[in-house]
Amino acid sequence: MRFPMPNFPCEFELPDEWWAEAGMVGFHPTTQAYRSGQAANVVPLTQVEPPYRRPDVAKDWRGFDKARLIAVLHGMVVGDEMPPVPLQAISDGHEFPPAPYAFRVQDGVHRFYASVAAGFTHLPAEFV
């Protein structure tokens, strides 16, 4: 399956088998972000720079680890509480032209891409 990136003119792909194995077939989010702890900030995905994946790295599919991604997607389906994604501010809002993104993912590539694929509009985050 192919998924468009928010605020970025490109797509990424996940194997259909992984999608089915995670139980995502027919999934539609009922909240703006996956379930996380009370202390999490909720940030629009359009404000988060898409983390770079190295498709040439020896992972299971174009920079993704199969077990990790399926576990994250399945957690979203069943409503598991998952940790927020650590984000670093990359813009103070005073640049000209303004930076296209305000935050950069420090750890949470699979949670970021799973959130986009699942159809969430926001990402639970903690600022580092």
> Any idea which fold 2-127 has?
3.90.1530
In the chain, domain spans: 2-127
Tokens 């027919």 correspond to what residue? 26
Cβ-contact 105, 29 below 8 angstroms: no
Name the pTM for this structure.
0.91
Q: Which residue type sits at 27?
A: F
What is the mean predicted confidence (pLDDT) over 89-100?
73
59 pLDDT higher than 90: no
Tell me the pLDDT band of 58, cut-offs 50, 70 and 90. Answer: low
Q: How many CB atoms lie within 10 A of CB 93?
A: 8
Tokens 């996380």 correspond to what residue? 36
The conformation of residue 51, written as its DSSP 8-state character, comes to P
26 pLDDT higher than 70: yes
91 pLDDT higher than 80: no
Could you tell me the two tokens for 30?
A: 């009922």
Q: What is the pLDDT of residue 52?
A: 85
